[in-house]
Structure 1
Protein backbone atom coordinates (compact mmCIF):
# COMPACT_ATOMS: atom_id res chain seq x y z
CA UNK A 1 0.00 0.00 0.00
CA UNK A 2 1.37 3.42 -0.90
CA UNK A 3 1.66 6.20 1.64
CA UNK A 4 -1.27 8.03 0.03
CA UNK A 5 -3.45 4.92 0.26
CA UNK A 6 -2.35 4.37 3.87
CA UNK A 7 -3.13 7.97 4.82
CA UNK A 8 -6.54 7.74 3.17
CA UNK A 9 -7.28 4.49 5.01
CA UNK A 10 -6.20 6.02 8.33
CA UNK A 11 -8.31 9.13 7.65
CA UNK A 12 -11.44 7.10 6.86
CA UNK A 13 -10.84 5.00 10.00
CA UNK A 14 -10.52 8.17 12.09
CA UNK A 15 -13.68 9.66 10.65
CA UNK A 16 -15.65 6.42 10.95
CA UNK A 17 -14.77 5.93 14.61
CA UNK A 18 -14.64 9.53 15.82
CA UNK A 19 -17.22 11.51 13.80
CA UNK A 20 -20.05 13.43 15.38
CA UNK A 21 -23.49 11.84 15.05
CA UNK A 22 -25.28 13.86 12.37
CA UNK A 23 -28.53 15.49 13.42
CA UNK A 24 -29.80 16.94 10.17
CA UNK A 25 -30.24 15.58 6.68
CA UNK A 26 -27.88 17.58 4.53
CA UNK A 27 -26.26 16.80 1.20
CA UNK A 28 -22.56 16.53 0.55
CA UNK A 29 -22.91 19.37 -1.97
CA UNK A 30 -24.35 21.69 0.70
CA UNK A 31 -21.50 20.82 3.05
CA UNK A 32 -18.95 21.56 0.31
CA UNK A 33 -20.53 24.98 -0.30
CA UNK A 34 -20.54 25.75 3.41
CA UNK A 35 -16.90 24.64 3.71
CA UNK A 36 -15.96 26.96 0.85
CA UNK A 37 -17.61 29.89 2.63
CA UNK A 38 -15.95 28.91 5.91
CA UNK A 39 -12.44 28.37 4.56
CA UNK A 40 -12.15 31.26 2.11
CA UNK A 41 -12.64 35.00 2.32
CA UNK A 42 -15.26 36.78 0.24
CA UNK A 43 -16.99 33.87 -1.46
CA UNK A 44 -19.44 34.76 -4.24
CA UNK A 45 -22.03 32.72 -6.12
CA UNK A 46 -19.51 32.53 -8.98
CA UNK A 47 -17.05 30.85 -6.59
CA UNK A 48 -19.74 28.31 -5.70
CA UNK A 49 -20.40 27.70 -9.40
CA UNK A 50 -16.69 27.12 -9.98
CA UNK A 51 -16.49 24.73 -7.01
CA UNK A 52 -19.39 22.62 -8.23
CA UNK A 53 -18.66 23.01 -11.95
CA UNK A 54 -22.19 24.29 -12.59
CA UNK A 55 -23.70 27.46 -14.05
CA UNK A 56 -24.06 30.55 -11.88
CA UNK A 57 -27.83 30.14 -12.10
CA UNK A 58 -27.61 26.59 -10.69
CA UNK A 59 -25.18 27.72 -8.00
CA UNK A 60 -27.54 30.57 -7.12
CA UNK A 61 -30.39 28.09 -6.66
CA UNK A 62 -28.21 25.98 -4.32
CA UNK A 63 -27.25 29.07 -2.33
CA UNK A 64 -30.90 30.19 -2.16
CA UNK A 65 -31.92 26.84 -0.60
CA UNK A 66 -29.09 27.03 1.95
CA UNK A 67 -30.15 30.59 2.85
CA UNK A 68 -33.74 29.35 3.30
CA UNK A 69 -32.44 26.74 5.77
CA UNK A 70 -30.82 29.58 7.72
CA UNK A 71 -27.23 28.40 7.18
CA UNK A 72 -25.98 31.20 4.91
CA UNK A 73 -26.47 34.94 4.48
CA UNK A 74 -25.87 37.15 1.47
CA UNK A 75 -24.14 40.43 2.28
CA UNK A 76 -22.95 43.37 0.24
CA UNK A 77 -19.18 43.68 0.07
CA UNK A 78 -18.12 46.49 2.43
CA UNK A 79 -15.80 48.09 -0.15
CA UNK A 80 -17.90 47.49 -3.28
CA UNK A 81 -21.68 47.52 -2.87
CA UNK A 82 -22.08 45.86 -6.28
CA UNK A 83 -20.50 42.63 -5.01
CA UNK A 84 -22.45 40.09 -2.96
CA UNK A 85 -20.54 37.79 -0.64
CA UNK A 86 -21.74 34.77 1.31
CA UNK A 87 -21.39 34.32 5.04
CA UNK A 88 -22.20 31.43 7.37
CA UNK A 89 -24.78 32.04 10.07
CA UNK A 90 -24.19 30.75 13.60
CA UNK A 91 -26.58 27.92 12.78
CA UNK A 92 -24.64 27.21 9.60
CA UNK A 93 -21.36 27.06 11.54
CA UNK A 94 -22.88 24.59 13.99
CA UNK A 95 -24.25 22.37 11.20
CA UNK A 96 -20.93 22.50 9.36
CA UNK A 97 -19.04 21.56 12.52
CA UNK A 98 -21.34 18.60 13.20
CA UNK A 99 -20.98 17.36 9.63
CA UNK A 100 -17.25 17.77 9.13
CA UNK A 101 -15.53 17.60 12.51
CA UNK A 102 -14.57 14.84 14.86
CA UNK A 103 -16.39 14.36 18.15
CA UNK A 104 -14.13 16.13 20.62
CA UNK A 105 -14.94 13.74 23.48
CA UNK A 106 -14.15 10.69 21.33
CA UNK A 107 -11.00 12.35 20.04
CA UNK A 108 -9.90 13.22 23.57
CA UNK A 109 -10.49 9.62 24.65
CA UNK A 110 -8.21 8.42 21.83
CA UNK A 111 -5.57 11.01 22.73
CA UNK A 112 -5.76 9.97 26.39
CA UNK A 113 -4.59 6.50 25.34
CA UNK A 114 -1.34 8.03 24.02
CA UNK A 115 1.84 9.08 25.72
CA UNK A 116 2.63 12.81 25.74
CA UNK A 117 5.25 12.15 23.03
CA UNK A 118 2.72 10.33 20.84
CA UNK A 119 0.22 13.18 21.24
CA UNK A 120 2.91 15.69 20.26
CA UNK A 121 3.85 13.60 17.20
CA UNK A 122 0.22 13.33 16.08
CA UNK A 123 -0.38 17.03 16.63
CA UNK A 124 2.73 18.00 14.66
CA UNK A 125 1.87 15.59 11.83
CA UNK A 126 -1.65 17.02 11.49
CA UNK A 127 -0.32 20.60 11.67
CA UNK A 128 2.23 19.90 8.94
CA UNK A 129 -0.22 18.07 6.68
CA UNK A 130 -2.81 20.83 7.14
CA UNK A 131 -0.24 23.50 6.31
CA UNK A 132 0.88 21.70 3.14
CA UNK A 133 -2.71 20.93 2.10
CA UNK A 134 -3.54 24.64 2.18
CA UNK A 135 -0.83 25.31 -0.39
CA UNK A 136 -2.32 22.76 -2.83
CA UNK A 137 -4.81 23.86 -5.45
CA UNK A 138 -8.15 22.32 -4.44
CA UNK A 139 -11.80 22.99 -3.83
Structure 2
Protein backbone atom coordinates (compact mmCIF):
# COMPACT_ATOMS: atom_id res chain seq x y z
CA UNK A 1 0.00 0.00 0.00
CA UNK A 2 1.30 3.45 -0.84
CA UNK A 3 1.45 6.36 1.60
CA UNK A 4 -1.66 7.89 0.03
CA UNK A 5 -3.67 4.76 0.88
CA UNK A 6 -3.87 3.24 -2.61
CA UNK A 7 -3.28 -0.44 -3.25
CA UNK A 8 -2.51 -0.03 -6.92
CA UNK A 9 -2.32 2.55 -9.66
CA UNK A 10 -5.41 3.38 -11.65
CA UNK A 11 -5.66 2.64 -15.37
CA UNK A 12 -3.70 5.20 -17.36
CA UNK A 13 -1.50 6.20 -14.40
CA UNK A 14 2.23 5.57 -14.34
CA UNK A 15 3.14 2.64 -12.11
CA UNK A 16 4.04 3.69 -8.56
CA UNK A 17 7.41 2.21 -7.60
CA UNK A 18 7.37 1.39 -3.89
CA UNK A 19 10.76 -0.34 -3.81
CA UNK A 20 14.25 1.04 -3.34
CA UNK A 21 17.25 0.63 -5.64
CA UNK A 22 18.48 -2.05 -3.24
CA UNK A 23 15.22 -3.98 -3.60
CA UNK A 24 15.33 -3.77 -7.39
CA UNK A 25 18.97 -4.96 -7.33
CA UNK A 26 17.97 -7.94 -5.15
CA UNK A 27 15.21 -8.88 -7.62
CA UNK A 28 17.70 -8.57 -10.49
CA UNK A 29 20.05 -10.88 -8.61
CA UNK A 30 17.28 -13.47 -8.22
CA UNK A 31 16.44 -13.19 -11.93
CA UNK A 32 20.11 -13.79 -12.74
CA UNK A 33 20.27 -16.93 -10.57
CA UNK A 34 17.35 -18.86 -12.04
CA UNK A 35 16.73 -20.65 -15.32
CA UNK A 36 13.02 -19.79 -15.56
CA UNK A 37 10.75 -16.95 -14.46
CA UNK A 38 7.10 -17.91 -14.15
CA UNK A 39 4.42 -15.22 -14.26
CA UNK A 40 0.66 -15.59 -14.23
CA UNK A 41 -1.39 -13.91 -16.92
CA UNK A 42 -3.11 -11.69 -14.32
CA UNK A 43 0.24 -10.32 -13.16
CA UNK A 44 1.28 -9.90 -16.78
CA UNK A 45 -1.84 -7.84 -17.49
CA UNK A 46 -1.59 -5.79 -14.29
CA UNK A 47 2.15 -5.12 -14.02
CA UNK A 48 3.32 -5.52 -17.65
CA UNK A 49 6.79 -6.75 -16.60
CA UNK A 50 9.82 -7.27 -18.83
CA UNK A 51 11.36 -9.96 -16.59
CA UNK A 52 14.94 -9.24 -17.57
CA UNK A 53 18.34 -9.42 -15.94
CA UNK A 54 19.22 -5.73 -15.95
CA UNK A 55 22.84 -5.98 -14.77
CA UNK A 56 25.29 -6.39 -17.66
CA UNK A 57 27.73 -8.01 -15.21
CA UNK A 58 25.16 -10.62 -14.19
CA UNK A 59 24.24 -11.34 -17.83
CA UNK A 60 27.94 -11.82 -18.64
CA UNK A 61 28.25 -14.22 -15.69
CA UNK A 62 25.24 -16.20 -16.97
CA UNK A 63 26.83 -16.54 -20.40
CA UNK A 64 30.19 -17.54 -18.87
CA UNK A 65 28.35 -20.29 -16.95
CA UNK A 66 26.89 -21.54 -20.29
CA UNK A 67 23.41 -20.25 -19.47
CA UNK A 68 21.35 -18.08 -21.78
CA UNK A 69 21.71 -14.36 -21.20
CA UNK A 70 18.18 -14.22 -19.74
CA UNK A 71 16.01 -16.82 -18.00
CA UNK A 72 13.16 -18.40 -19.94
CA UNK A 73 10.02 -16.31 -19.31
CA UNK A 74 6.94 -18.51 -18.88
CA UNK A 75 3.37 -17.19 -18.72
CA UNK A 76 0.49 -19.39 -17.62
CA UNK A 77 -2.99 -18.47 -18.85
CA UNK A 78 -6.35 -20.06 -18.27
CA UNK A 79 -8.22 -18.00 -20.83
CA UNK A 80 -5.64 -16.80 -23.39
CA UNK A 81 -6.39 -13.12 -22.79
CA UNK A 82 -2.86 -11.83 -23.37
CA UNK A 83 -1.90 -8.46 -24.82
CA UNK A 84 0.40 -8.62 -27.87
CA UNK A 85 1.76 -5.17 -26.95
CA UNK A 86 2.94 -6.35 -23.52
CA UNK A 87 6.58 -5.63 -22.68
CA UNK A 88 7.36 -9.30 -22.09
CA UNK A 89 7.09 -10.17 -25.78
CA UNK A 90 9.21 -7.24 -27.02
CA UNK A 91 12.33 -7.48 -24.87
CA UNK A 92 15.31 -9.82 -24.90
CA UNK A 93 15.10 -13.46 -23.88
CA UNK A 94 12.90 -16.37 -24.84
CA UNK A 95 9.25 -16.62 -23.86
CA UNK A 96 6.79 -19.48 -23.60
CA UNK A 97 3.03 -19.36 -23.10
CA UNK A 98 1.47 -22.27 -21.26
CA UNK A 99 -2.25 -22.29 -22.03
CA UNK A 100 -4.58 -24.42 -19.94
CA UNK A 101 -7.17 -25.98 -22.23
CA UNK A 102 -7.92 -25.77 -25.93
CA UNK A 103 -9.99 -22.57 -25.73
CA UNK A 104 -7.20 -20.71 -23.91
CA UNK A 105 -4.65 -21.95 -26.45
CA UNK A 106 -6.78 -20.79 -29.40
CA UNK A 107 -7.42 -17.36 -27.87
CA UNK A 108 -3.74 -16.89 -26.93
CA UNK A 109 -2.67 -17.74 -30.48
CA UNK A 110 -5.24 -15.33 -31.95
CA UNK A 111 -4.16 -12.57 -29.56
CA UNK A 112 -0.40 -13.10 -29.84
CA UNK A 113 0.03 -14.43 -33.35
CA UNK A 114 3.46 -16.02 -33.63
CA UNK A 115 5.11 -13.89 -30.93
CA UNK A 116 5.93 -16.66 -28.40
CA UNK A 117 5.90 -20.45 -28.61
CA UNK A 118 2.75 -21.91 -27.07
CA UNK A 119 2.22 -25.16 -25.19
CA UNK A 120 -1.34 -26.34 -24.59
CA UNK A 121 -2.03 -28.25 -21.41
CA UNK A 122 -5.05 -30.36 -20.53
CA UNK A 123 -7.33 -28.87 -17.91
CA UNK A 124 -6.43 -31.74 -15.59
CA UNK A 125 -3.00 -32.29 -14.01
CA UNK A 126 -1.89 -28.82 -15.05
CA UNK A 127 1.20 -28.41 -12.87
CA UNK A 128 2.70 -31.89 -13.30
CA UNK A 129 2.25 -31.55 -17.06
CA UNK A 130 3.67 -28.02 -17.12
CA UNK A 131 6.72 -29.05 -15.10
CA UNK A 132 7.24 -32.04 -17.40
CA UNK A 133 7.17 -29.82 -20.48
CA UNK A 134 9.61 -27.35 -18.95
CA UNK A 135 11.96 -30.18 -18.01
CA UNK A 136 11.68 -32.30 -21.13
CA UNK A 137 11.51 -29.64 -23.83
CA UNK A 138 13.32 -26.70 -22.24
CA UNK A 139 15.72 -28.44 -19.80
CA UNK A 140 14.72 -26.18 -16.91
Q: TM-score range by the shorter chain?
A: under 0.3
TM-score by length of 2: 0.27
The structure with more helix, counted as a fraction of residues: 1
Greater fraction strand:
2
Q: Which has the higher contact order (CA 8 A, sep 6+)?
A: 1
